[in-house]
Protein backbone atom coordinates (compact mmCIF):
# COMPACT_ATOMS: atom_id res chain seq x y z
CA UNK A 1 0.00 0.00 0.00
CA UNK A 2 1.31 3.44 -0.94
CA UNK A 3 1.90 6.03 1.75
CA UNK A 4 -0.23 9.16 1.61
CA UNK A 5 1.39 12.29 0.25
CA UNK A 6 0.58 15.69 1.73
CA UNK A 7 2.74 17.76 -0.60
CA UNK A 8 5.88 16.89 -2.51
CA UNK A 9 8.55 19.49 -3.23
CA UNK A 10 9.74 19.79 -6.83
CA UNK A 11 13.02 18.08 -5.89
CA UNK A 12 11.16 14.90 -4.93
CA UNK A 13 9.02 14.92 -8.08
CA UNK A 14 12.09 15.44 -10.23
CA UNK A 15 13.96 12.67 -8.44
CA UNK A 16 11.46 9.87 -8.93
CA UNK A 17 8.22 11.13 -10.50
CA UNK A 18 6.20 9.68 -7.60
CA UNK A 19 2.92 8.09 -8.62
CA UNK A 20 0.24 6.33 -6.60
CA UNK A 21 1.45 2.95 -7.89
CA UNK A 22 5.20 3.40 -7.39
CA UNK A 23 6.95 3.23 -4.01
CA UNK A 24 8.67 6.45 -3.03
CA UNK A 25 12.38 6.73 -3.69
CA UNK A 26 14.86 7.39 -0.83
CA UNK A 27 14.81 11.12 -1.56
CA UNK A 28 11.02 11.22 -1.15
CA UNK A 29 11.16 9.12 2.02
CA UNK A 30 13.45 11.70 3.56
CA UNK A 31 11.11 14.51 2.50
CA UNK A 32 9.29 15.87 5.58
CA UNK A 33 6.06 16.20 3.56
CA UNK A 34 5.70 12.45 2.90
CA UNK A 35 3.90 10.31 5.49
CA UNK A 36 5.28 6.79 5.68
CA UNK A 37 3.18 4.31 7.70
CA UNK A 38 4.90 2.03 10.20
CA UNK A 39 5.67 -1.46 8.89
CA UNK A 40 3.05 -4.14 9.48
CA UNK A 41 3.88 -7.13 11.66
CA UNK A 42 4.51 -10.38 9.79
CA UNK A 43 1.57 -12.56 8.73
CA UNK A 44 0.51 -15.21 11.20
CA UNK A 45 -2.14 -17.81 11.84
CA UNK A 46 -3.17 -18.31 15.45
CA UNK A 47 -4.35 -21.88 15.91
CA UNK A 48 -7.30 -22.26 18.28
CA UNK A 49 -5.32 -24.71 20.41
CA UNK A 50 -2.60 -22.06 20.93
CA UNK A 51 -4.89 -19.10 21.59
CA UNK A 52 -4.44 -17.31 24.89
CA UNK A 53 -7.55 -16.82 27.01
CA UNK A 54 -7.80 -13.72 29.23
CA UNK A 55 -10.46 -13.37 31.92
CA UNK A 56 -11.96 -10.08 33.11
CA UNK A 57 -11.35 -9.33 36.80
CA UNK A 58 -15.08 -9.99 37.43
CA UNK A 59 -14.81 -13.47 35.89
CA UNK A 60 -17.89 -12.63 33.78
CA UNK A 61 -16.09 -12.10 30.45
CA UNK A 62 -13.19 -13.61 28.58
CA UNK A 63 -11.25 -12.83 25.44
CA UNK A 64 -9.79 -15.62 23.31
CA UNK A 65 -7.11 -15.43 20.65
CA UNK A 66 -6.51 -11.71 20.42
CA UNK A 67 -4.39 -10.89 17.37
CA UNK A 68 -2.98 -7.39 16.88
CA UNK A 69 -1.72 -5.88 13.64
CA UNK A 70 -0.57 -2.38 12.78
CA UNK A 71 -4.14 -1.20 12.11
CA UNK A 72 -6.52 -3.55 13.92
CA UNK A 73 -7.19 -5.98 16.76
CA UNK A 74 -9.50 -9.02 16.52
CA UNK A 75 -10.58 -11.58 19.13
CA UNK A 76 -13.49 -13.71 20.29
CA UNK A 77 -15.38 -12.18 23.21
CA UNK A 78 -17.48 -14.29 25.61
CA UNK A 79 -19.74 -12.81 28.30
CA UNK A 80 -21.71 -14.53 31.06
CA UNK A 81 -25.49 -14.13 31.31
CA UNK A 82 -26.35 -10.74 32.81
CA UNK A 83 -22.78 -9.39 32.46
CA UNK A 84 -22.41 -5.66 31.81
CA UNK A 85 -19.94 -3.38 30.07
CA UNK A 86 -20.01 0.07 31.73
CA UNK A 87 -20.29 3.25 29.71
CA UNK A 88 -16.97 4.04 28.00
CA UNK A 89 -15.37 5.52 24.87
CA UNK A 90 -12.64 4.02 22.69
CA UNK A 91 -10.35 6.12 20.46
CA UNK A 92 -10.93 3.95 17.37
CA UNK A 93 -13.87 2.40 15.58
CA UNK A 94 -15.10 -0.89 17.01
CA UNK A 95 -17.12 -3.69 15.46
CA UNK A 96 -18.95 -6.57 17.17
CA UNK A 97 -20.43 -9.51 15.24
CA UNK A 98 -22.71 -11.61 17.46
CA UNK A 99 -22.27 -15.35 17.01
CA UNK A 100 -24.49 -16.52 19.91
CA UNK A 101 -26.49 -14.90 22.71
CA UNK A 102 -28.20 -11.54 22.87
CA UNK A 103 -28.34 -8.34 24.83
CA UNK A 104 -28.80 -4.59 24.69
CA UNK A 105 -26.12 -2.18 23.51
CA UNK A 106 -26.42 1.58 23.94
CA UNK A 107 -24.45 3.77 21.53
CA UNK A 108 -24.49 7.53 22.06
CA UNK A 109 -27.72 7.28 24.06
CA UNK A 110 -29.60 5.03 21.60
CA UNK A 111 -30.41 1.50 22.81
CA UNK A 112 -30.33 -1.43 20.36
CA UNK A 113 -31.31 -5.07 20.92
CA UNK A 114 -28.71 -7.40 19.35
CA UNK A 115 -28.59 -11.12 18.73
CA UNK A 116 -27.01 -13.86 16.58
CA UNK A 117 -25.99 -12.64 13.13
CA UNK A 118 -26.17 -8.95 14.06
CA UNK A 119 -23.15 -6.73 13.43
CA UNK A 120 -22.57 -3.55 15.42
CA UNK A 121 -20.46 -0.58 14.29
CA UNK A 122 -19.32 1.94 16.92
CA UNK A 123 -17.62 5.12 15.69
CA UNK A 124 -14.45 6.33 17.37
CA UNK A 125 -15.21 8.14 20.64
CA UNK A 126 -18.84 6.92 20.71
CA UNK A 127 -20.24 6.46 24.22
CA UNK A 128 -21.03 2.74 24.53
CA UNK A 129 -22.46 0.42 27.20
CA UNK A 130 -23.81 -3.13 27.06
CA UNK A 131 -26.04 -5.43 29.13
CA UNK A 132 -25.98 -9.12 28.26
CA UNK A 133 -29.15 -11.18 28.10
CA UNK A 134 -29.99 -14.46 29.85
CA UNK A 135 -27.66 -16.63 27.73
CA UNK A 136 -23.87 -16.41 27.29
CA UNK A 137 -22.75 -14.10 24.49
CA UNK A 138 -20.09 -15.12 21.98
CA UNK A 139 -19.00 -12.43 19.52
CA UNK A 140 -16.20 -11.47 17.20
CA UNK A 141 -14.69 -8.15 18.36
CA UNK A 142 -12.64 -5.92 16.06
CA UNK A 143 -10.96 -2.62 16.89
CA UNK A 144 -9.90 -0.56 13.85
CA UNK A 145 -6.71 0.35 15.63
CA UNK A 146 -4.98 -1.81 18.23
CA UNK A 147 -4.79 0.76 21.04
CA UNK A 148 -8.17 0.07 22.73
CA UNK A 149 -7.22 -3.61 23.15
CA UNK A 150 -4.49 -2.56 25.60
CA UNK A 151 -7.17 -2.62 28.32
CA UNK A 152 -7.24 -6.43 28.07
CA UNK A 153 -3.65 -6.63 29.33
CA UNK A 154 -5.08 -6.22 32.84
CA UNK A 155 -7.25 -9.32 32.38
CA UNK A 156 -5.89 -12.57 33.84
CA UNK A 157 -4.20 -14.78 31.22
CA UNK A 158 -5.01 -18.47 31.20
CA UNK A 159 -2.67 -20.35 28.86
CA UNK A 160 -4.10 -23.04 26.60
CA UNK A 161 -4.03 -26.58 28.01
CA UNK A 162 -0.87 -28.62 27.21
Q: Is the pTM of this model over 0.85?
A: no
- What pLDDT digit, counting tens, does each position of 66-122 carry? 888 888 889 999 999 999 999 999 999 999 999 999 999 999 999 999 999 999 999
Homologous superfamily in CATH for domain 48-158: Jelly Rolls (2.60.120.10)
Overall average pLDDT of the 122-141 stretch: 97
What does the domain layout of the chain look like in residue ranges? 1-37, 48-158
- What pLDDT digit, counting tens, does each position of 38-68 carry? 677 888 888 888 888 999 999 899 999 888 8
Q: What is the greatest pairwise CA distance in the chain?
A: 65
Amino acid sequence: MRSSILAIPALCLAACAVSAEAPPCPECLSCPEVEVPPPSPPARVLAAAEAEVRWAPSGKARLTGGVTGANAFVATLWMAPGAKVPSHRDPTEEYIHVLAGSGSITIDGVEHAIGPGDTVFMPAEAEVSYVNGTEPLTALQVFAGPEPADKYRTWTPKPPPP
